[in-house]
Amino acid sequence: MKYCKYHPTEAATWYCTHCDCQVCDTCTQESERGDDRYCCKCGATLESLGSAYTAEPFWERLSETFRYPLTVPVMTLIIILSAISGVLFFMPIVGAVAGLISAGILTKYSFQCLEETASGNMSPPGLSEAFSGGIIIIFKMIGLIILITAGGVGSYHYLGAGITGLLGAFVVLSIPAFLINFALTDRVLASFAPQNILRIVGAVGLPYGILIGLLLLMSSSVGLLSYMVFSGFEWASMILQSVISNFYMVVIFHLLGYVVFQYQEKLGFYARAQTGDAPVYRSEVERSRAKISVLVKEGDYEAVNRLYQKTLDRNGQDMSLNDEYFEFLMATGNKESLLEFADEYMSYKLHKGQQVQLKRIYNQVRSVITDFKPTGSEVRFTLAKDYASFGDYPAVVRLINGMHQECSDNQLLVDAYTLLREALEALGRDSMVRSCDQYLIRLKRNVSVGSI
């Protein structure tokens, strides 16, 4: 099991050959509508690890496995094939031929289910291809059974009953691995070769035992179920038994396909589950956030800074992105960028009706840049009013002093300097109060001229 480099509890889904690291879906970059994924750190195209580490184990999704054939086309196929072979079963020759054909169709379809599931498609494939080539598979299977039986007879003759019994047990235990090999390679003898059987068993490991147990349970329940329901009424019992066994056959092949899907890495390939849901596309801000999170963990603060600026250029109205950038600048103590951003940030906050936060932001910035003074007159006046209400007059003086050099809004200047005058008075700075008065008279004259 491999985990994301940046999320130690998330299973890895992508691999960067350049950085030699595994990451999860979140820690990647994608183009707006693209399927390719890129490394957040170096920008290289990532290699998919498929669902190698995210696939749910087969023994935990048994209810989904049993629901797999429950679609109208698959159930129709199962019932029609069962009915044909059931009805014709008691007719000589015709029954045998019908049985062979329906078994061929179902076998072909079941192998298709195995292949499709192995490649990550969790819904049953279409039926169109089920009707050709099935008989060949059946004959291959019959050939193999004859070969095994002959081997068994030979072994019994030369090696005795004990060893033959043991070999027989191995053959039975090999069936799941054989079916997987055959579905993937289409070669009968090679699929039964011990090294190829062991490759599958080795990849699955101990859960192979669970698999065998499940298969035995399913095959033994077929007879039992139909016996319980329809014992005595042979014709209907035949059809029902056939429906159940055909149903289980599709389930078993889907299960085997899923085993391949789950152990894909050990079997040497990567497949991604296709659930049929529309892909979820992330917005530019979400993608940037993911990349920022990676770059922060990599300690590349310069790149983080640039990425924040670039993203904010296009998504300046995103309040939390603004907040996050400010927190980042505070945390990294980047004076230059902080000086540039703080002004914009405070005006933005004011216009978004969050003036209560201005004082906190102002103080935070001043803890890094001691002589910081916002350039926006509105921000300064709002802050000054806040300080005045707490009786912090030196702060009022500090904020409003010199505002006339930058502000062209006369009404705002009148209000601001009236407040400054109050502060100076409270501080007992009489000479400054007088010059403030004179300035206010001039200002008010301008205001009335402006309004005529």
Interface residues with Zn ion (CB under 5 A)? Answer: 4, 6-7, 16, 18-19, 24, 26-27, 39, 41-42, 44
Helix or strand holding residue 47 (H, E): strand 47-48
Cross-strand partners of 47 = 15
Minimum distance from residue 289 beta carbon to Zn ion (Å): 12
Cross-strand partners of 23 = 14
Q: 325 Cβ partners below 8 Å, 6+ apart?
A: 308, 312, 341, 345
Write the CA distances from 106 to 79, 115, 255, integer angstroms: 11, 14, 16
Q: How many CB atoms lie within 10 A of CB 355?
A: 17
Minimum distance from residue 19 beta carbon to Zn ion (Å): 3
Closest CA to 68 of 258, 253, 256, 251: 251
Q: Which residue type occupies 122?
A: M
Which one, 16 or 177, has the nearer CB to Zn ion? 16
Which one, 20 or 32, has the nearer CB to Zn ion? 20
Which one, 4 or 183, has the nearer CB to Zn ion? 4
Minimum distance from residue 62 beta carbon to Zn ion (Å): 30
58 burial (CB, 10 Å; 0-12 / 13-18 / 19+) is buried
**Residue nearest Zn ion by beta-carbon distance:** 39
Which one, 42 or 441, has the nearer CB to Zn ion? 42
Which one, 19 or 273, has the nearer CB to Zn ion? 19
Which one, 16 or 251, has the nearer CB to Zn ion? 16
Minimum distance from residue 40 beta carbon to Zn ion (Å): 8
Minimum distance from residue 22 beta carbon to Zn ion (Å): 9
Looking up tokens 């005058």, which residue turns up? 421
Minimum distance from residue 305 beta carbon to Zn ion (Å): 20
Q: Which residue type occupies 10?
A: E
Q: 33 Cβ partners below 8 Å, 6+ apart?
A: 281
